[in-house]
Amino acid sequence: MEARTESRIPDLLREPAPSISFEFFPPKDDASEAQLWTAIRTLERLAPAFVSVTYGAGGTTQDRTIRVTERIAHETTLTPLAHLTCVGASVAALRQVIGSYAAVGVRHILALRGDPPGDIRAAWTPHPDGLDHAEHLVALIRELGSFSVGVAAFPDSHPDSPDLDHDVEVLVRKADAGAEFAVTQMVFDAESYLRLRDKVAARRDLPITPGVMPVTNVRQLTRMAELMGTPLPTTFINPLLAVADDAEAVREVGVALAVELSERMLAEGAPGLHFITMNRSTATLEVYEHLAL
């Protein structure tokens, strides 16, 4: 199949106007798949720079991730950013997945080390015939075709990282391996994003787009933060905890916090916003409309 003509993500992130992008996760059943495609079709109308589909915790749902990404490439006008992790995969298996993405015209890949399967806080052990770090996966992808490769960034430091400077060094190595842009984990404090962005910018030209999640469920947020090893600053979590028993109030506060964070980061020169949608469109649309992008 001939690849579709589409703009390269790193080029879009360098344009004067901020880009928007959306993150989805692969569905577990028919009902959640219908919900996913409702969200995709609704948000497609906003003409995002790209959309991504994640792997599950510990590298699970790989097959569904690939299937949904291929459907987006075939059936929509959207540019898919395909996720790929090193978890449980030999180099031969990784080459096969990369080839399958190329065959359906997917030209952008987010290269991730990934988390240990079963217990994402466990010590990382690579596949005996696999890769140990995301920078090695970046290099492999670049060797296999004309892909544009993105990587993950951690404003509040990766759980295995001793400090911010180490995270910066890791991003620099990923850029040197061929990464052209980065997308962060969820940002809860604009200052943490700006510190990381500025330290990397002093060493490499690597656009870093912050991840933003309009919170609609406090329990879901705290669980995700725990899994990621990301601290929740009191300025973010306390307003949500204050209304935790009122679902509509949680939604209103969550949208307001997302708008405030987004406005601050855009004002400070963030190249765009990457919305973690949880496969729903309405809260993300509310934030988008408040920002008047």
Q: Which pTM does this prediction carry?
A: 0.92
More confident residue, 181 or 61: 181
State residue 159's pLDDT score.
74
Domain assignment of residue 194, yes or no? yes
pLDDT band at 292 (very low <50, low <70, confident <90, very high): confident
- The CB density around residue 99, as the number of other CB atoms within 10 Å, is 11
Q: How many domains does the chain have?
A: 1
77 within domain boundaries: yes
- What does pLDDT average to over the chain? 91
Query: What pLDDT band is residue 51 in, cutting at 50, 70 and 90?
Result: very high
pLDDT for the residue 76: 96
- Asked whether residue 229 is domain-assigned, the answer is yes
pLDDT tens-place string over residues 133-158? 999 999 999 999 899 999 999 998 77
Which residue(s) pair with 209 in the sheet?
183
Residue 61: what pLDDT?
A: 63
For residues 20 and 273, what is the distance between their CA atoms, to the nearest angstrom? 5
Domain boundaries, position 187: 9-291
166-213 residue pLDDT tens: 999 999 999 999 999 999 999 999 999 999 999 999 999 999 999 999
Q: Is the pLDDT of residue 260 over 50?
A: yes
Residue 244 — very low, low, confident or very high, per pLDDT cuts 50/70/90?
Answer: very high
Kindly give the residue spans of alpha helices, DSSP state H, lying in the chain: 9-12, 30-44, 62-75, 91-103, 134-144, 164-177, 190-201, 218-228, 234-241, 247-267, 282-291
Taking CA atoms, 225 is separated from 31, 36, 52, 188, 212, in Å, by: 26, 22, 20, 10, 13
The verdict on residue 44 lying in a domain is yes
Report the CATH number that the domain containing residue 185 is assigned in CATH.
3.20.20.220
Catalytic residue list contains 143: no
With CA atoms as reference, report the closest residue to 231 among 154, 121, 283, 117: 154
Q: What per-residue confidence (pLDDT) applies to 30?
A: 84
| Confidence at residue 125, expressed as pLDDT on a 0 to 100 scale | 80
Torsion sign across C-alpha atoms 123, 128, 130, 132: positive
- Indicate whether 293 pLDDT > 50: yes
Residue 22 placed within a domain: yes
Q: What is the DSSP track for 88-136?
A: T--HHHHHHHHHHHHHTT--EEEEE----SS-TTSPP---TTS-SSHHH
Compute the average pLDDT of residues 82-95: 92
Which one-letter amino acid corresponds to residue 133?
Answer: H
Write down the catalytic residue from 2, 15, 23, 75.
23
DSSP state of 79: -
On the CB side of 142, CA atoms within 13 Å amount to 18
Q: Does residue 3 lie in a domain region?
A: no
Is 80 exceeded by the pLDDT of residue 285?
yes
Q: Among the listed ranges 148-152, 162-166, 240-244, which one has the minimum average pLDDT value?
A: 162-166
Quote the CA–CA distance of 212 and 237 in Å, as a whole number.
14
- Least-confidence region, from 39-48, 204-213, 227-236, 243-252: 227-236
Q: Does a structural domain hold residue 2? A: no
Q: Is the pLDDT of residue 26 over 90?
A: no
Give residue 114's pLDDT band: very low, low, confident or very high (50, 70, 90).
confident
pLDDT value for 118: 59
What pLDDT is attached to residue 1? 40
* pLDDT at 130 exceeding the cut of 60: yes
In a domain, 70, yes or no: yes
